[in-house]
A and B are shown apart, each in its own frame.
Chain A
């Protein structure tokens, strides 16, 4: 099914068109959302909202870009909103924990940890990487994730972000410098301890 046929079908509430859209774009949507959110389960939940949004706002799609690029734009916006919500929730939880009395663990909780040290180290580095990416300014973060994780060309990134090629180059360069500084600083501190 071509993009045009897909759009026509969805606008006429054709069940086959819905199925085609999901089959064609679910991998792209979930993977991109995962690279921003950093958690596959959250990305899969978010993908449902993204597809709902795609279908609801399809009548306003002006075809100035390809359907795939447009879906990417919605995915990026929704994912960034989710990250912001999670960050706000994290702040609230930290504030709440300040007023909560410390929990005393009894002897029944002293079970063996089910995670291997190597897995723990991997998880730690994974969350360090995502924390470092989330510290980047929004535009740098989008450009870096689309380039490094999604393997998009600078031209595709420029289309998704609706900016020029030189701006994309500059954003990616600055993102790399910032990430390098953050990670090098973190590991240098880690080595000292």
Chain B
């Protein structure tokens, strides 16, 4: 048996699935090859880890925690009289809030647009001042600034 043959038979060897002849060949290669020996040690360690993991024990409080969780869950469902209704109402409320947002947004946008369309005419203001404050001297300045039409 060479190194590559040994590598493909390692699991079979550790599970005792090789024939007696194959087993002897495996072991004789293992005793003469340091690299394969090292590899076998590493894989034996992996086997040991699997064995250790099998014997793992849950914490002594695990059962209490599970029972507590189950109790909390069922208390919560008891308290809510219509647990199914919540599931229906939640999306309806979210959809309503979204619709309200859209309506408010479109209303304010419309209002802004109408305000923006009302452009102030500067000539109207001057006419207003002129008539209400009786200032006739504006006429000269208007001519100077080229405000008169």
Which chain A residues have a beta carbon within 8 Å of chain B's beta carbons?
A: 13, 18-19, 22-23, 26-27, 30-31, 34-35, 40, 43-44, 47-48, 51-52, 55, 122, 125-126, 128-129, 148-149, 151, 176-177, 179-180, 183-184, 187-188, 190-191
Q: B43: which of A18, A48, A55, A187 is its contact (CB, 8 Å)?
A: A187
0/1 string, B11-23, CB within 8 A of A gives 1: 1000000000000
Closest B residue by C-beta to A184: B7
Given A13-B74, A187-B43, the answer on whether A34 and B69 have CB atoms closer than 8 Å is no
Q: A51-B69, A128-B46, A179-B11 are in contact. List 12 more A-B contacts (CB 8 A).
A: A18-B67, A22-B66, A26-B62, A34-B53, A35-B53, A149-B54, A184-B43, A187-B39, A187-B43, A188-B39, A191-B35, A191-B38
Point out the residues of chain A lying under 8 angstroms from B35, CB to CB: 188, 191
With a cutoff of 8 Å between Cβ atoms, the chain B residues found around residue A191 in the complex are 35, 38-39
Q: Interface size of B by Cβ–Cβ distance < 8 Å?
A: 29
A125 touches B45 (CB 8 A): yes
The reply on B31 being an interface residue by CB < 8 A is no
Given contacts A122-B49, A125-B45, contact A30 B58 (CB under 8 A): yes
B49, A129: Cβ atoms closer than 8 Å: yes
Closest to A45 in B: B65
Contact of B58 among A13, A27, A149, A183 (CB under 8 A): A27
A129 to chain B, nearest CB (A): 6
Given A149-B53, A149-B54, A191-B35, A44 contacting B46 (CB threshold 8 A): no
- Is B137 close to A, CB under 8 A? no
Q: Does B50 contact A (CB under 8 A)?
A: yes
A47 to B42, CA, bound (A): 32
* B46 neighbours in A (Cβ, 8 Å): 125, 128-129, 183
A-chain residues with CB within 8 Å of residue B53 when the two chains form the complex:
34-35, 126, 149
- Residue from the list A22, A31, A183 in contact with B67, Cβ < 8 A: A22
B39 CB contacts on chain A under 8 angstroms: 184, 187-188, 191
Partner of B70, one of A40, A43, A51: A51
Q: Is the CB of B58 within 8 A of A26?
A: yes
Please name all residues of chain B whose beta carbon is closer than 8 Å to the beta carbon of A43 when the two chains form the complex: 58
Residue of B nearest to A34 (CB): B56
22 contacts between A and B (CB under 8 A): A19-B67, A22-B67, A22-B70, A23-B63, A31-B56, A34-B53, A35-B53, A44-B65, A48-B66, A51-B66, A52-B73, A125-B49, A126-B53, A149-B50, A180-B8, A180-B11, A183-B43, A183-B46, A184-B7, A187-B39, A188-B7, A188-B35
With the chains together, A52 CA to B77 CA distance in Å? 13
Please give me the 7 A-B residue pairs with the lowest Cβ-Cβ distance, nearest first: A30-B58, A48-B69, A187-B42, A184-B7, A180-B11, A26-B63, A176-B11
Task: Look across to chain B and name the residue whose beta carbon is closest to the beta carbon of A52.
Answer: B73
User: Which chain B residues lie closer than 8 Å to A187 at the CB level?
Assistant: 38-39, 42-43
